[in-house]
Chain A
Amino acid sequence: MWQGAITIVAIAIFNFCLIHMAPGSPVDVLAGESGTADPAMMEELTRRFNLDQPFHVQLFSYLWNMAQLNLGQSYRDNQPVVTLILARLPATLLLMASAIGAAFLFGLLLGVVSARFVGRAADEGISFFALVSYATPTFWSGLMLITLFSVKLGWLPSSGMMTIGSDKTGLAFMLDVGRHLILPTLSLSLFYMAIYTRLMRASMLEVYGLDYVRSARARGLSEARVAFRHVLRNALLPMVTMVGVQVGSILGGSVVVETVYGWPGLGRLAFESVGRRDYNLLLAILLFSSVMVIVTNLVVDIIYTLLDPRIEHGKK
């Protein structure tokens, strides 16, 4: 626990220094966007945002506020940053859950199939598909999916999270969100699916070569039972580690996919707050992501023990 807390404070200080090193201030941006500005108004804003204080004073007041769980106001939106983040969180969670879920499921499936038929056509095909998905930039696959499914075929919406102003409720609403979710999920999960497929394949093959698998076969167990009961379970450990690392990092949102699909999530908020030098908002998002990484690490450790009873906590 203490380790986690110290890590978070260190991350906060590091983020703060990094952000303030970027040239330009939120006042520059606000004044620049307007195209014209009044010097008195700029001074007033600088004072209101506390930017006229020396750097170390700003840093300490930030840390002091953070200790009291006060993350401050967004300079631009004039709202508490927590409100802004919480408003975007559901969209990000939904997209991430569906993307990681789909990637995990299909990655697992393809990896297992690939390992079972190693060296055969199915394996070759899957490996080729994984390589292509891995090498395709997300923004490009996103745009191509939009061009195909929403511009040419007209089957799916090109952006947003729901049909705006439709006032749908219940099942109709869920179906509507689902329709909007398909393309972003697809383009985001392709990349991760490729990683999981290759990881799962390699890990399965490794376990297949172990002695206990041979003895299981010798005992006359069916090939399917060997694959799912003996090999898969053990081969899952590296997958869980990988998923754990990635869940933590992408809970901060996917900038590219959210931008291409106009998905109102955290990644876009973070990206926009960089451009606007909205320090408070950006710091809060980064802090939130780092907390998420630490929490998912804990969860992954717990899942380990469920998968492999030999791993126990507290015993080294």
Chain B
Amino acid sequence: MNRRDLLKLGALGSLGSVLPWDGNPASLSGARAQTGGQPRRGGTLTYALTPEPATLFTANTVSNPVIIFGSKINEALVRLDFDYNMQPVLAESWDISSDRLTWKFNLRGNAKWHDGRDFTSGDVAFTCNEVWKKLHGRGINSFRNVAAVETPDPKTVIFKLSAPIPFLHTVLSAHEGTVVARHIYEGTNILNNPVNVRPIGTGPFLFREWARGSHLIVDRNPNYWDPPKPYLDRIIFRLIPDAAGRAAALENGEILLAGPNPVPLGDTERLGRVPHLEVFSRGQEYFAALIYLQFNMDHPILGRAEVRRALHHAINQEFLARNVMFGFGSVATGPISPEQKQAYTADVPRYPFDEARANALLDQAGLPRGAGGVRFSITLDAYTLGEHYVRIGEYLRQAFGRVGVRTTIRTEEPAAWVRRIFTNYDYDCTTMGAVLLADPTVGMQRFFYSGSIRQGLPFSNASKYRNARVDQLFDLCQVEGDPARRASYWHEIQRIIQTDLPLISLANWHYTSIANKRVRDWVVSPHAMMENWAGVWLES
């Protein structure tokens, strides 16, 4: 029984927003779009893409809309299944040496670029050496230990590592690892190549047009290497700037698929009750998003760990996840997402909701209530890229007020917020969405590692947290090849951070996508929107 079925029960219908939910994203998903059925050829899929991409060059980007669009044209070597094991795409098979320093991939014999040239190992080597390692925001770190990329023959590529990269399989998927054509980019200024706005790939769809401010279109590639796929004739990516407009287009069938998080949480809940629509958290697990309340460690009061612990006791995380986040969140136990199964542990210091305890701790910290019952006043910045950050801020204002901490909310548009938090460090505390991705080294380390205290660098360590042991453990996790030992490092990191509490992990945020029930077989992996959609088909 999925969430929507529950909602259909009349007695519970009106209680939609306070339904008990077990926190397991799988229970939020309909099974429908994953079950097989006989695929049908033909039809046009309409997808709501937001915001508009700045470029269509996928191989160096970390921007979701670019990857979501570009992954239909440019493919990666592999994709990930729900257990984060590699599944073949451009690589048919592979062989990893026991010391995990040599990764050999056998490539598709019949894959061709859209301009007719053969896809070869040279393309992979070129993309890795010239794009991923030099121009990719995360790739510069992720691929650092790739010492050489060997190409013994056109259909074999070998990655030689100087030290193990325990997360290499995750960054070889389409989210970080799309391959571009060497014959198009070699010897050119890669970032200004005109092909970047009319991409050429090996994928199931051919670039057709980009009407800025309106839409992008890709058409079926009749010569795709995996016939009879693709099933769709065409995909139209509509650029609908307004969330209410996207909701209307989903309701009246103009848009068949949208996500992740195409509309605010309240609307997501409402659209889940529309008969022809379905809301999915399954297929978005890869983002492993958390909502943090980050403190400025330079603040005279919030800089003290005992004060932060007291504030944690003042927060009812259950209430927040269920009501403020409309059930699209669950209680976070620490800075690592439960989706990151290789690293997560719940065995960490916890701060259960207990206002009496919070009050006692604040008294002990020498912060007695003054006039009007106020102990001290703080300003809370709410990140504005998403309505729920403000709602969460409003809940926190109320929760902190009850223990005598007067809180003022400040909302600024994203550019000003980024400048305030990460360049000027001019804040007391801020809510923040943290996308941790498949592996904590790639997505989570930057918020806690002392080497990531980089003034002016967005989404770095702006609480200025420093702990020598944590730094050491992060360094170990970078290169530890043994999964069990690496997990033990992660567990220790979580315990230390939950003790020091440079930030409060408020909630796991379950990203959602919304689909018309006609759209079938698109939830095939934890980053379903970034797959090539060769197997997606439309029911008539």
With A37-B137, A78-B55 as contacts: A28 and B249 at CB distance below 8 Å: no
- Tell me the number of A-to-B contacts counted with CB atoms below 8 Å: 147
Q: Of A158-166, A221-229, A241-249, which stretch is located at the interface?
A: A158-166
- Take A36-B446, A77-B54, A165-B217 as given contacts and tell me if A147 and B248 are in contact as well, using a CB distance cutoff of 8 Å: yes
Q: How far is A82 from B211 in the complex, measured between Cα atoms in Å?
A: 16
Q: Report yes or no: A87 in contact with B245, Cβ–Cβ below 8 A.
A: no
Q: Are A77 and B212 in contact (CB under 8 A)?
A: yes
A125 CB-CB contact with B under 8 Å = no
Whether A34 lies near B234 (C-beta < 8 A) is no
Cα–Cα distance between A276 and B54 once the two chains are bound (Å): 11
- B433: min CB distance to chain A, Å: 9
How many angstroms between the C-alpha atoms of A158 and B435 in the bound complex? 32
Contact B239 A151, beta carbon cutoff 8 Å: no
Query: Does A38 reach chain B (CB closer than 8 Å)?
Result: yes
A314 at the interface (CB under 8 A from B): no
Of the four ranges (under 10, 10 to 19, 20 to 34, 35 or more), the interface on chain B belongs to: 35 or more
B240 and A262 form a contact (CB under 8 A): yes
Tell yes or no: B369 within 8 A of A by CB: no
Pair A34/B137 contact, Cβ less than 8 Å: yes
Find out whether the CB atom of B244 lies under 8 angstroms from the CB atom of A42. Answer: no
Residues in A neighbouring B44, C-beta threshold 8 A = 165
Task: Tell me the nearest residue of chain A to B244, going by C-beta.
Answer: A143
Contact yes or no, A164 B238, CB < 8 A? yes
Taking a contact as CB atoms under 8 Å apart, the answer to whether A28 and B138 are in contact is no
Residue of B nearest to A41 (CB): B137
B416 pairs with A34, CB closer than 8 A: no
Does B419 touch A at the CB level, under 8 Å?
yes
B472 within 8 A of A: no
Determine the distance from Cα of A32 to Cα of B413 in the docked complex, in whole angstroms.
12
Within 8 A of B (CB), among A25-40: 25, 28-39
A15 within 8 Å of B by Cβ?
A: no
* B61 at interface, CB cutoff 8 A: yes
Contact pick for B252, options A30, A35, A158, A160, CB 8 Å = A158
Q: How many A residues are at the interface, by size bracket?
A: 35 or more
Q: How far is the CB of B72 from chain A (nearest CB, A)?
A: 15
Closest chain-A Cβ to B280's Cβ sits at a distance in Å of 22
A159: contacting residue among B63, B248, B412, B415, CB under 8 A: B248
The interface residues of chain B lying within 8 Å CB-to-CB of A77 are 54, 212
Taking a contact as CB atoms closer than 8 A, the residue among A31, A151, A269 that contacts B457 in the complex is: A31
A260 touches B415 (CB 8 A): no
B420 touches A (CB below 8 Å): yes
| B241 close to A268 (CB less than 8 A) | yes
Q: How far is the CA of A24 from the CA of B423 in the complex (A)?
A: 9
**Measured CA separation A194–B249 after assembly (Å):** 29
Q: Is B62 an interface position by the 8 A CB rule?
A: yes
How far, in whole Å, are A84 and B213 apart by their CA atoms in the complex? 10
Let me know if A297 is at the binding interface, CB within 8 A: no
Are B238 and A160 closer than 8 Å at their CB atoms?
yes
Known A28-B423, A146-B248, A158-B248; contact A23-B458, beta-carbon cutoff 8 A: no
Name the CB-closest residue of A to B138.
Answer: A36
User: Do residues B254 and A276 form an inter-chain contact, with CB atoms below 8 A?
Assistant: no
Q: Least Cβ distance of A25 to chain B in Å?
A: 8
Chain B residue nearest to A44 in the complex (CB):
B191
CA distance in complex: A88, B211 (Å): 10
- Give CA–CA (A37, B452) in the complex, Å: 11
* 0/1 string, B202-220, CB within 8 A of A gives 1: 0000000001111101000
| Distance, CA A76 to CA B66, complexed state (A) | 13
* A22 interfacial contact with B, CB 8 Å: yes
Chain A to chain B contacts (Cβ below 8 Å), 18 pairs = A23-B412, A24-B418, A29-B418, A31-B457, A32-B418, A32-B422, A34-B63, A34-B137, A36-B459, A37-B457, A42-B456, A146-B245, A154-B252, A158-B248, A158-B252, A164-B236, A164-B238, A264-B213
4 tightest Cβ-Cβ pairs between the two chains A and B: A24-B415, A264-B213, A32-B418, A24-B419
A residues apposed to B, CB below 8 Å: 22-25, 28-39, 41-42, 76-78, 84, 87-88, 91, 143, 146-147, 150-151, 154, 157-161, 164-165, 259-262, 264-265, 268-269, 272, 275-277
